[in-house]
Amino acid sequence: MCDGRVAIPLADDFEDSEFTVSVDRLTNAGHEVVVFGSKAGEIVTGKQRQARATIEHAAAELDPDDFDALVIPGGYSPDHLRLDDGVVDFVRRFHDRHRPVAAICHGPQLLIEADVVRGRTLTSWPSVRTDLENAGAQWIDEAVMVDGNLITSRNPSDLDAFTGEILRHLRAPSGAAAAR
C-alpha cells in the first residue's frame, strides 16, 4: 500500500545521506519515491561516493499533480539541476500547488532558481545564505524551518528533524500542514 508519492530531483554529487536517509524514512512510512532528473536511465553518484541512484524519469515526463511532496537533497546536485529548465519548471509548478516542498543543505539553490523564495523564511547550508537573501528570502540558522509549504534544513545532522517534518506534512489532512 502506498500512502503517497514523493518526487526527488537528483543529479551527480548529491549529498549521500540526505538522499538515502530521506528515501529510507519515506519508504518505511509507506510512501512511493520517484527519482527524477535531466535524463531518464542516467546513473548518478553521491559526492561521498557511498550512494548511487538511477534517474527514473526526466522532469519533462512528470506531472506535479501526480505527487504529494517534493524533497530536494543537497550537495552539488541542486546546482547542476538549476541549469535544467525542465527540472526548474517542475519545481516551480509543484510549489505552486501548495504541497510540501522540502529542501536541505544546498537544496534551496533549486528553489531560488524556480523563483519561489521571495518573502519566505528558510534555512540552508551557510554558504547559500547570501543567495537566499539576494533572492528575497529571510535566512535563519535553525535545524528545520517551516514556512507554509516550504520545509528547509541546514545539513545531514538535521535529517531527523527534516524527515520528521516531511512525514508530519504528509500525514496532515490535505492543505492543513501547508496552512501553518
When divided into structural domains, the chain yields a total of: 1
- Considering the domain boundaries, does residue 167 fall inside one? yes
Per cent of the chain over pLDDT 70 is 94
pLDDT at 172: 75
In a domain, 177, yes or no: no
- The CATH number assigned to the domain holding 72 equals 3.40.50.880
For residue 108, what are the domain limits? 4-171
DSSP string, 97-161: TT--EEEETTTHHHHHHTT--TT-EE---GGGHHHHHHTT-EE---SEEEETTEEEE-SGGGHHH
The answer to the question of residue 176 being in a domain is no
- 157 domain residue, yes or no: yes
Q: Is residue 178 part of a domain?
A: no
Contact 113, 82 (CB under 8 A): yes
Active-site option among 103, 105, 117, 177: 105
pLDDT at site 151: 98
> In the structure, what pLDDT confidence band is assigned to residue 176 with cuts at 50, 70 and 90?
very low
**Does the global pTM surpass 0.85?**
yes
Tell me if 180 is assigned to some domain.
Answer: no
2 catalytic, yes or no? no
